[in-house]
Amino acid sequence: MDLKRLDAFAKGIIFEAGKRIRESFTYDLEVETKSNANDLVTNIDRETELFFIEQIHAFDPSHKIIGEEGMGERPDSLAGVVWIIDPIDGTMNFVKQHRHFMITVGIYIDGIGKLGYIFDVMREDLFYAIAGEGAWYNDSPMRKLQPLKIEEAVIGINASWVTPNPKINHEKLIELIRTVRGTRSYGSAAMEIAFVVSGKLDGYISMRLAPWDIAGGIIIAQEVGAIATNLEGNGFDLMQSDTFIIANPSIHQLILENYIEQK
Ligand code: 2AM
Ligand code: CA
């Protein structure tokens, strides 16, 4: 497999999809809800996924696609070349804020992550990696993450987990929030992962993410030394939804051991 050629093709269709989404603001969005009233999808999410599928199949019909909107083959294993795609990560931001939403793509070959992309559509900012060769923010190589103390860390977390909830001990998370330098919540998992791998955040915690939210980001993580696991400390299973933490290597284990207690 010629990874350089695949990388050039992937970047080309990501940029083109981003251009189409930016142009889509000139006509009406159709917003629907999915699993619950706050789980949004639009015609643009679906049109963007379809654009990826058509382009990828024209490039190589043997490639398979797992997309959030379910329009690809959704193979039940990662055998062969599999693209895991979220056409718009942060759909609520897309609808309400017209910014802070990402296209994110991970390309896996026989289960091994090879190419990972997180594209901030409105800023036209690309975070990406080629496994074993490094990671880049636009044209600049990303540095390996440098060690830091937990007291210096800025952590991405959704405020709802710090209120009483059935999934996680919120008192312990309050202790984490009191310990760290600051917290942020951006509403796009891929954006928060992009910020961790590029050192703009030092950790990000979520109680439920899907494979397409993280598939591209975890490939970038490997290249900069960020640690990404579920909240048990095991690898995220790309065939199902799971809990998730990505963090600077100097604080990943410390957060899991001292501040995370699932119910
Ligand atoms: P989405 O916008 O592609 O749906 C919001 O906090 C983040 O969590 C977004 O990245 C969002 O992705 C993701 N998300 C929202 N609902 C989810 C669900 N039910 N399962 C997994 N991820 C979800
Ligand atoms: Ca999405």
Q: How far apart are CA 124 and CA 200, in angstroms?
A: 17
pLDDT digits (tens, 9 = 90+) for 81-110: 999 999 999 999 999 999 999 999 999 999
Q: Please state, in angstroms and rounded to a whole number, the distance separating the CA atoms of residues 66 and 165.
A: 31
Alpha carbon distance 241, 63 (integer Å): 23
Ligand nearest 190 Cα, by number? 1
Domains in the chain, please, with CATH? 3-141 (3.30.540.10), 150-259 (3.40.190.80)
pLDDT averaged per 10 residues in sequence order, the chain, 263 residues: 95 98 86 90 94 98 96 94 98 95 98 98 98 97 98 97 95 98 98 98 97 98 98 96 98 98 95
- Span from the CA of 219 to the centroid of ligand 2 (angstroms): 19
Residue 38 Cβ < 6 Å to ligand 1: no
pLDDT (0 to 100) of residue 232: 97
Burial of 240 (0-12, 13-18, 19+ CB in 10 A): exposed
Question: What is the CA(119)–ligand 2 centre distance, in A?
Answer: 13
CA distance 244 to 214: 9
Beta carbons of 184 and 154 less than 8 angstroms apart: yes
Contact 72, 85 (CB under 8 A): yes
* Residue tagged 């796009």 (tokens): 188
Token pair of 229 as six digits = 């696991």
Q: What local confidence, expressed as pLDDT, does residue 26 receive?
A: 77
Q: How far is the CA of 4 from the centre of ligand 1 (A)?
A: 31
The closest alpha carbon to 86, from 206, 4, 183, 188, belongs to: 188
DSSP state of 235: P
C-alpha 201/C-alpha 171 separation (Å) is: 22
Q: Residues near 181 by Cβ (< 8 Å), separated by ≥ 6?
A: 151, 152, 153, 154
Query: CB–CB of 191/89 below 8 Å?
Result: yes
